[in-house]
Structures are given as structure tokens and as C-alpha cells.
Chains A and B, each alone.
Chain A
């Protein structure tokens, strides 16, 4: 399995606090990966670094077959490279309809003039319907995104990620605030997405991680504590000490 994303030796300090400490992780082309860790372990900061929101003090972030450095790119450039992100709190554009939200995310040229002269086509409409089907929001396409339930917003955001057609999906706590049925749906969606692309899930909930049934990376104080199957890491004494034991 070839590497899609290579994070090596990355450190970030916020006002003297070391949020990420010499972190190295590599993600393969089509892989589902769960990142777990106690609060303040640096999970979200890790995503911020990949998506360009936070610039690390030292270290390298290398992306894709052409080995580009993500550190020199702006957030929007990184997104155009094929890295999509779902935030912890569902952030959809509440004043706009579900269809508009998906249309905006759909993979298309992103320049102002491309967008100004953009014309809807049968193909894009079909693609939006397809995604809506997948996230179970077909009937809700004309509704305002703000009127959706919390779980539906989470799905819409996942749908927007799928619409971007990224090679790497970074998903922050996708199951937060969902009912058991919604969680199951979300798990199935992520597992299916990971067949064709890399998916990194940051999660607190061990039950949810178990259901994903994938390789797990445990973060602690900004660096990798253990890596392997969930059973493997839960047996690790260090992990038990810092995380599960408490």
C-alpha cells in the first residue's frame, strides 16, 4: 500500500504549550484510520495542521504521489488538492438549501469566474441526487439546511465531503450527538467511503471505533502512543495508563 499522506516530526507550540510534539503518522491510499486519545491529546490540532489552518513550527507534511509539501499551501489550495474535512460541530450553510450546500461542495472549478458563469448540467444534478441518496436526504434537498435535525446536518456535512470527491477525508467526531440508528448509518457510510479513498476518523467513543474495525492510532500529549488494531492498542500498558485506565 503506497503512502498518501506522510506527517513526520511535526511540532506545534501555542504560547509555550506543546500541542503537537514530534508527531509522525502516515496514511495509505485507501485506508480507514481511527485516531483516538484523551482530551488535549492534539487530535484536532493534527487535523488543523493537515488542512493548513495551523502552521507547525518544525516538521514536514508530504502529500500524494508527487510528494508535495502541504505546508506551503493555503487552506483552499489544500482542499483543492483533495483533502476534505468535516468539523466536530456540524458546519453547514444553514441559510441555504441542502441542494445548494451540496452543489457548492461538488467537485468543479473553484475560481470566481468559473463559478460566476457556472451552468447547471444534468450530470451535476444526477450527482447531487446520488449523494443525497447515499446520505438519506433525498426528500430534504429543497429544505433549508438549518431546518435539519442534528444528525441530518452531520450527514449533510459528510455528503458535502463526498461531493468534493477528496482522496483523503478527515472526519472529526462524526457520531457526536447521534442516535444509535444514525450512528450505524454513519459507520456504514465511512466504511464504504474508505474503500476508494483514505478516511481518518477522530473519535472519543470506543464503541464507535470498534464498529469501524480498522487500524487505530492513539495520540497522547501530541505524539503517537500506540498504533495497531483496537484490540492490540487496548492491551498496550501505556494506553491503559494514560487513557483507558482513568
Chain B
């Protein structure tokens, strides 16, 4: 009856084990802390992949468990990235500015320093003053709070408006897509205060750590991403197990019935939507310092659609499925689009994977949806022995089937 959380969810233990083995292996093979078999740029790719796995499990909870096909979760991911990027740019530019002004005849005033930072950052869009949204950029603590607060509030307000008017299904998907599109179009403008389509760059340079080589920074971020993924996995496994999971899955399967049981469905959806948005934002805040640059194209609707594709291919409704899908498809995608995949010569036509990868991905997505609805994660069902159906009641669901009393003893 009161079995422990791990006993009821053995996949959590297996996942944490696999993640630890993987992280240690990468550490031992990296340039900074190991043999150097894995290049620093590939460590960064792996670290970024872990962040994508984290947003994928968030997507799985909101879609696979709660049935809300959100096509806007990359907006939260991007906002998390912008929030941390603002501090990274500000603090690094400040160091450079202070250094260059140190040689001036008169010591610079605070205002001069701030103005110099602003013209450095915004020169590219023809502005030289900090917009209001940069008010907290000088402080790491405040900006870290923004990582959680801004996407969290956006999700809360958006979700409240959408769920309260009982928008469901494909209409909700379109609405979330409109949200992310609107946000990305807004950010594309030069006067949005976030450098328009230039985005924020140089994020891989951590202020004050100029002396530390990128190989070390990359492994540190890799570990931070791994820990975040582990913690996120346990958090979501806890949320979707037990009674909360029961109610969430019930909402997915028959939301009006849940209402008649006395549950306020909208509050539950809002809870799941906001929680997953916050986790997506944290994933973004870890991703972009590894990517080095963030621009509005990152939160275009297509990114969120990819997210849904990863989760569908990996297997909806199981957290490890989402991780597998995100890792597998995104790594495969960078292999194909990076030009490392060998071209296939058909004699009359040569298939260049950089052009054909999207077609392959689309076909795989359709094939998985049609033929393997459980996705890659479904393969685990073949390994794990399922308990044999407990036939203690009637012999079948049909009316004509034997009742329990009629059966053999």
C-alpha cells in the first residue's frame, strides 16, 4: 500500500542511473577533464541536448499526460534564454567598458559607465539607452528570478485566459502557436529592446571567467544541464504519479467527466501549463549560454512543432520516451544537417541529406504516428514483462461472455 516512490516508479531509478553513467563517461572523455576524445564543441552539443530533453519532458507532461497540445513551449524556453542572456551581455560589456575607461584622465561616473554599456550593446540597432526591460540586467540574482517569473507569468496569464474560455484541442494549439509567433515577431523589431534580429550574442563568455578555458566551462554547463534534467525528471515523475497524475490523465481522457467529479479542470490545466513553462524556461536558461547566441528565430513556431515531433517519436505519456525522442532526433538532426551524413547516389539523383533531412523527419513522424503510436519508448514494453491480466472477474466484456459464476473454478 505505502510503497516508496521509487518502488512504484522504477523507471526513475533507471533513468537517473543512465544519466549518471552518461555524464561521467562524457566527463572522462572530454578535453578539460579527461582523455580529450570528445571535443569541446561536441560537449556543448551534448549539454544542449540535455536541455532539449528537459523541455521535452515538460512537453510530454503537458501534452502526453494532460492532453494539451501546446505548440508554444519554445517561447518559454526562449524567454528563459533571453533573461539569462541579458545579464551575461550586461555584465561582460560592463567589464570591458570599465577596463577601457580606466585609462581616462578622469575616473568615469556610474552614469557614464551605464551609458557606455548601453551604447555598446544597442549600437547595433542604432540606440544608446537601456529600455525599461533591462532594469534588472545588472544583477544576476534578479535576472535569475526573471528566468522563472517572466515565462511563468506569461504562461499563467495566457493559460488563464485560454482555459477559462474552455478553448481546447486544435484551437488551443493554434492559440499557443499564435502566442509564440507574436512574441517572435515582436522581438524581431529593433525597438523591442532586445536587439531585434541580432539577438543577444557572446553568451558563451561568462563574465569574470575569461581566464577559464571554454573546455572547462562547457563541462560545467554540461553537468548543470544533467543535474537540471535529473531534478526535472524526478519532479515530473512525482507530479504524474499518484493522485495528481490520475486526475491529469483523467482530464486528458474526459475533461467534462472530471468536472462532474468536482475538480476544477481549469485550475489543473493552468497548474500543469505554468509548471511546464517554468521548467522549459530553466532549460532555455541553461541552453543558450552553451549555444552562445539567441535570436528571435529561436522561438519561431517551427521550434515548438519540432518539440511535439520529438515527443511523438519518442513516445507520448512516458517521460523517458520524451528524453529518448529529443536526444535521438535532435542529435540525428545535427548529424544530417551538419553535412556529415554521406550523400546517397541513386544514379539519376543524389540525395543530399542537408536538403532531404526534413522530408525524412516528416515521413518518420507520419510513420510513427500511424504505425507505432507508442514511439521509440514503446520498445521498452517488449523488454519489461507485463503482469498477466488478473482474470478474477467475468470472462469478457461482452454481454454474452461467461460471468464469473458460470466459469470454471
Contacts and interface: CB of A to CB of B under 8 A. Distances in A.
A110 B262 CA distance: 7
A118 B243 contact: yes
Nearest to B269: A112
B249 A149 contact: no
Interface in B111-155: none
B254 A76 contact: no
A103 interface: yes
B244 A79 contact: no
B268 A104 contact: no
A118 B262 CA distance: 16
Nearest to B264: A76
B263 A149 contact: no
Contact of A104 (B247, B256, B267): B247
Given A76-B259, A120-B1, A96 B267 contact: no
A113 to B, nearest CB: 8
Contacts of A115: 243-244, 247, 263, 268
Contact of B257 (A91, A118, A139): A91
A165 B397 CA distance: 28
Contacts of A51: 260
A148 B397 contact: yes
Contacts, number: 101
Contacts of A149: 393-394, 396-399, 401
B372 interface: no
Nearest to A177: B399
Interface in B361-409: 389-390, 392-394, 396-399, 401, 403
Interface string A93-135: 1111000100111000011100110101000010000000000
Contact of B246 (A96, A143, A147, A150): A96
A179 interface: yes
A150 B397 contact: yes
Contacts of A160: 261
A115 B248 CA distance: 10
A140 interface: yes
B292 interface: no
B262 A148 contact: no
A83 to B, nearest CB: 9
Nearest to A82: B262
Nearest to A80: B262
Chain B interface size, under 10 / 10 to 19 / 20 to 34 / 35 or more: 35 or more
A164 B261 contact: yes
A147 B244 contact: no
Interface in B225-262: 239, 242-244, 246-247, 249-250, 253-254, 256-257, 259-262
Q: Which of A85, A93, A147 has the most CB of B within 10 A?
A: A93
Interface string A43-61: 0000000010100000000
Contacts of B257: 87, 91, 93
B357 interface: no
B262 A164 contact: yes
A120 to B, nearest CB: 7
A152 B396 CA distance: 11
A104 B1 contact: no
B404 to A, nearest CB: 8
A95 B253 contact: yes
Nearest to B2: A120
Contacts of B261: 76, 79, 104-105, 160, 164
Interface in B1-15: 1-2
A148 B391 CA distance: 10
A86 to B, nearest CB: 9
Interface string A142-169: 1100011111100000001000100000
Given A79-B262, A80-B262, A143 B254 contact: no
Interface of B: 1-2, 239, 242-244, 246-247, 249-250, 253-254, 256-257, 259-265, 267-268, 271, 389-390, 392-394, 396-399, 401, 403
Given A104-B247, A112-B268, A115-B244, 20 more contacts: A74-B264, A91-B257, A96-B246, A104-B243, A104-B250, A104-B261, A111-B267, A112-B267, A125-B1, A139-B393, A143-B390, A147-B389, A148-B397, A149-B398, A149-B399, A152-B393, A160-B261, A164-B262, A179-B399, A181-B403
11 contacts: A75-B256, A76-B262, A76-B265, A93-B257, A104-B250, A115-B244, A116-B244, A139-B393, A164-B261, A179-B403, A181-B403
Closest 4 interchain pairs by CB? A79-B262, A139-B392, A75-B259, A80-B262
